[in-house]
Chain A
Amino acid sequence: MSTTDSPVHQQVDRAVAWSPSQREQERTLIRRAITRRRILVSTISSLTVLAAVTAVILKSPGWTVVKTTFFDLHYGISVAHLVTRGLITNIELTIIASIAIGIFSLLLALARTSRSAALTPLRFLATAYVDIFRGIPLILVILLVGFGVPALQLQGITSNVFVLGTTAIVLTYSAYVAEVLRSGILSIHPSQRAAARSLGLSHHQTMRHVVLPQAVRRVVPPLLNDFISLLKDTGLVSILGVVDAVRAGQIESSRTFNYTPYVVAAVLFLIITIPLTRYTDYVLMKSINRQNAQGSA
């Protein structure tokens, strides 16, 4: 080792002047060969499976019937605009419901995690609420609210099925989302609270400025999952007579005894949900990477 060069200089020179050794060049070639073989094998196996599945479907005796009953392209295109109009109702419902769910579930989660003596009854009520609405099938809540509430013939209560259906979904989903938010709140380390309180922040201020922002960020991936489920479950309000994508498909299909309109509705849902699912995956991976980076720091 040269005694005149400072260690810092040596490092810089080495970084600039580096060229791979003979051995490293050999290894690079081997790695490339392995990669090429892997790609070849996976391509051949994928194509083989795909070809086999296609052949089985097309050669099966019922395929012609299946094709005309479920996958009638011309009929599908002709009803697409009706189903799309229905889907817009689903999207409207999803947006309105998710805002209401956001507010209501946050209140539920805060009530359940509060430790103040004055809020004891509220905490009890919130826990009971979550237990009940997480335990009842959504379709029952929709039937109870959608058909049961108008049957009371109360003054001032709407009989608009869109409003009642949305209400039923908000009631159920708030219970789920409240639990997600609560788990986020509980996952924030007590030392964060201690630091905030030691600065003189009240319980309320600590929640608002320190705990909740971190908690919500941490549960974004499960919240996105619930959002996707919500979009799909808005299809259930069709049983109340709301003309959404499902109902629009049903009306057409019962007119012609062809099930292509249902498939059109399914495809339209997928056009929205698949990108959302991919996005959720991406957000999840990002948050996992961030947590791992923090853990190693």
Chain B
Amino acid sequence: MNVLELHNLRKSFGSELVLSEISLAVPEHTATVLIGASGSGKSTLLRCINLLDSIDDGQIILDGQEISDPKIDVDVVRRKLGMVFQAFNLFPHKTVLENITLAPIKVHGLSRDEAHHAALELLKRFDLADKADQYPDRLSGGQQQRVAIIRSLAVKPRLLLLDEVTSALDPVLVNEVLSVVRDLKQDGITMVLATHEMGFATQVADEVCFLENGLIIERGSADQVIHNPTMTQTQDFLRRVHEAGRL
């Protein structure tokens, strides 16, 4: 069963077309990886799926329900979605534990004890238990991003959206975040993620989509798209990534 389906999505900012003819099916327990240069539309696509940006045309279907219907309650839809941002976006005035338990308590109606217990379990699993009462600015970038991932997991989302979660990190901190995402993939969490880390993409992707100027130029398994691309745009992009030492 497909957790997410996109049919002919179209989105423009003013006169600039940023997404066009985007169709995608994300089956349960799979990871779809979006690759492409900055400005190719990866982040916008993720924001559209989360209804943070509106679309101009097309359909977004989550668990068989059309969520691009204007009459839909966006707050109810977002309870099923988790999103992790490039810049972490942790709440600086709240401790790690408060960041994680805010939505479970306020949105999902868990008691404080239940929410704290679940959050501490997650923190323990990802080696952050000793940071529970710290404020985000006392944490390294890698730790902050892991907390942000835990925060989005704490509401048990049907679908996790990850927007270049390692792009704001020091090279040495990238792996601690990526290994968390690999664990989640092992757990069978369904996800759509945008990344510049091609090695990582190869490891987790069930499907890779290469975007350029808002279009999906090439799609298929990691082996096809990243290692044996057929389209010249994909080849060009991957050569540039390779030259930058990121492959």
Contacts and interface: CB of A to CB of B under 8 A. Distances in A.
A118 to B, nearest CB: 16
A117 B22 CA distance: 31
B75 A214 contact: no
Contact of B75 (A195, A200, A217, A293): A200
A213 interface: yes
B107 A191 contact: no
A199 interface: yes
A192 B89 contact: yes
A152 B89 CA distance: 55
Contact of B79 (A192, A200, A294): A200
Contact of B102 (A199, A214, A297): A199
B137 A201 contact: no
Interface in A34-68: none
Given A192-B91, A195-B85, A214-B92, A200 B137 contact: no
B94 to A, nearest CB: 8
Interface in B122-137: 137
A205 interface: yes
Given A210-B91, A294-B137, A198 B106 contact: no
Contacts of A191: 85, 87, 89
B107 A198 contact: no
B143 to A, nearest CB: 13
Contacts of A81: none
A197 B103 CA distance: 10
Contact of A205 (B50, B52, B85, B106): B106
Given A191-B89, A217-B93, A198 B75 contact: no
Nearest to B104: A199
Contacts of A198: 50, 52, 78, 81-83, 152
B34 interface: no
B237 to A, nearest CB: 27
Contacts of A202: 75
Interface in B61-105: 74-76, 78-79, 81-83, 85, 87, 89-93, 102-103
A209 interface: yes
A205 B89 contact: no
Nearest to B89: A195
Nearest to B74: A197
B60 interface: no
B78 A199 contact: yes
Interface residues on A, range: 20 to 34
Secondary structure class of chain A's binding surface, majority of residues: helix
A214 B94 CA distance: 10
B18 to A, nearest CB: 17
Contact of A200 (B47, B90, B91, B107): B107
B191 interface: no
Nearest to A198: B83
A197 B78 contact: yes
B146 interface: no
A289 to B, nearest CB: 13
Contact of A214 (B52, B81, B93): B93
A297 B91 contact: no
A295 to B, nearest CB: 11
A294 B82 CA distance: 26
Given A194-B52, A209-B102, A294-B137, A201 B107 contact: yes
Interface string A213-230: 110010000000000000
Nearest to B90: A195
Give the interface centre of A191, A197, A199, A217 by most chain B CB atoms within 10 Å: A199
A116 to B, nearest CB: 13
A293 B85 CA distance: 22
B55 interface: no
A214 B137 CA distance: 14
Contacts of B10: none
A191 B155 CA distance: 19
B52 A201 contact: no
B11 interface: no
B107 A205 contact: yes
16 contacts: A191-B85, A191-B87, A192-B89, A194-B52, A195-B90, A195-B91, A198-B82, A198-B152, A200-B78, A200-B107, A200-B155, A201-B75, A201-B102, A201-B103, A209-B106, A214-B93
Interface of A: 191-192, 194-202, 205, 209-210, 213-214, 217, 293-294, 297
Given A194-B85, A199-B103, A210-B102, 17 more contacts: A191-B87, A194-B89, A195-B85, A195-B91, A198-B50, A199-B78, A199-B102, A199-B151, A199-B155, A200-B155, A201-B75, A201-B102, A201-B107, A205-B106, A209-B106, A214-B92, A297-B137
Task: Kindly list the 5 A-B residue pairs having the minimum CB-CB distance in the complex, ordered from nearest.
Answer: A195-B89, A199-B103, A198-B83, A200-B79, A200-B107
